[in-house]
């Protein structure tokens, strides 16, 4: 998908430019990485070496052992504990195998429909804590007969896969906002138990990124029907 790119496109949003940032950490990012993730050059080097060693003899999962940056993407959300990162990598790929139909040939060009609908947006600016912000409008702006929840899911996957590439986002994480203003009964019925389980399993166990907050705003009473699917499986 997006794991081996060196440059991502920028997008002009009115007066703002949304640009994915592949540069090294800013001074603020380095400070947060040290205080929250235990990241120092010495710990980072040792953790990468230990994580690589854990893959020796593992034949059913091939990873880019020569790519330290790839290793760091999984080490940062695990605060540089190699065993935790190793387990996260396994869950990450096990989830993709389990839901292979969602990931087959997944790319922005193939999922153009979701981006044309203007219900999924990445804020061009980070919040005051340096976090990326993803907004999903699944109420009055969502034409559910034109774009399915599976397409919405794929759009979210593409965003988080791109965010994983940004060192600054690896450290600060991301916030997801669901705007449910105008949710109808017909839209509520699009949410099914299998869909709810996939989303929860993905966010709780298989996303190698610090999800710092999930916020639901403008929810009508009918949203209780949707939330009832998610509540029993949330940790």
Which two tokens mark 183?
């949710």
Q: What is the pLDDT of residue 15?
A: 56
The domain containing residue 80 runs over which residues?
A: 27-98
Which of 31-35, 43-47, 57-61 has the least mean pLDDT?
57-61
Instruction: Answer yes or no: are the C-beta atoms of 129 and 164 closer than 8 Å.
Output: no
Report percent pLDDT > 90 for the chain: 81
The per-residue pLDDT for 141 is: 95
d(CA 108, CA 92): 20
The pLDDT of residue 5: 47
- Looking at residue 6, the DSSP 8-state letter turns out to be S
Q: What is the mean pLDDT of the chain?
A: 92
Give how many domains the chain has, as a whole number. 2
pLDDT recorded at residue 32: 98
**Do residues 182 and 219 touch, judged by C-beta distance below 8 A?**
no
- Residue 87, SS3? helix
Whether residues 93 and 122 share a domain: the answer is no
Residue-wise pLDDT tens digits, 109-146 = 899 999 889 899 889 889 999 999 999 999 999 999 99
pTM value > 0.85: yes
On the question of pLDDT at 6 being above 90, the answer is no
How many angstroms from the chain centroid is the CA of residue 214? 12
Q: In this predicted model, what pLDDT tens digit does every residue of 16-41 receive, in sequence order?
A: 555 678 899 999 999 999 999 999 99
Same domain, yes or no: 128 and 48: no
Residue 10 domain-assigned? no
Tell me which of 98, 125, 148 is where a domain ends: 98
Same domain (yes/no): 108, 186? yes
Q: What pLDDT does residue 20 have?
A: 77
Positive or negative, the Cα torsion across 70, 173, 103, 105?
Answer: negative
Domain boundary among 49, 67, 98: 98
**Which tokens sit at 17?**
């430019």
Residue 47 host element (H or E): helix 41-54
Decide if 131 is inside a domain.
yes
From 80, 98, 116, give the residue that closes a domain.
Answer: 98
């Amino acid at each position: 998908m997006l794991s081996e790119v060196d440059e991502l496109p920028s997008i002009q949003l009115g007066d703002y430019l949304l640009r994915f940032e592949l540069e090294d950490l800013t001074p603020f990012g380095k400070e947060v990485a040290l205080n929250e993730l235990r990241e120092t050059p010495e710990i980072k080097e040792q953790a990468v070496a230990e994580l690589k060693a854990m893959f020796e003899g593992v034949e059913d999962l091939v990873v880019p052992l020569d790519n330290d940056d790839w290793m760091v993407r999984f080490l940062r959300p695990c605060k540089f504990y190699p065993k935790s990162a190793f387990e996260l990598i396994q869950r990450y790929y096990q989830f993709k195998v389990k839901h292979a139909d969602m990931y087959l040939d997944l790319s922005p060009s193939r999922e153009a429909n979701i981006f044309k609908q203007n219900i999924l947006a990445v804020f061009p600016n980070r919040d005051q804590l340096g976090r990326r912000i993803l907004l999903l409008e699944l109420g009055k702006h969502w034409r559910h007969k034109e774009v399915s929840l599976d397409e919405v899911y794929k759009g979210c996957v593409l965003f988080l896969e791109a965010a994983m590439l940004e060192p600054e986002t690896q450290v600060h994480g991301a916030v997801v906002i669901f705007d449910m203003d105008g949710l109808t009964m017909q839209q509520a019925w699009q949410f099914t138990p299998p869909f709810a389980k996939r989303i929860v399993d993905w966010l709780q166990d298989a996303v190698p990124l610090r999800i710092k907050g999930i916020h639901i705003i403008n929810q009508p009473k009918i949203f209780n029907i949707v939330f009832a699917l998610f509540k029993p499986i949330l940790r």
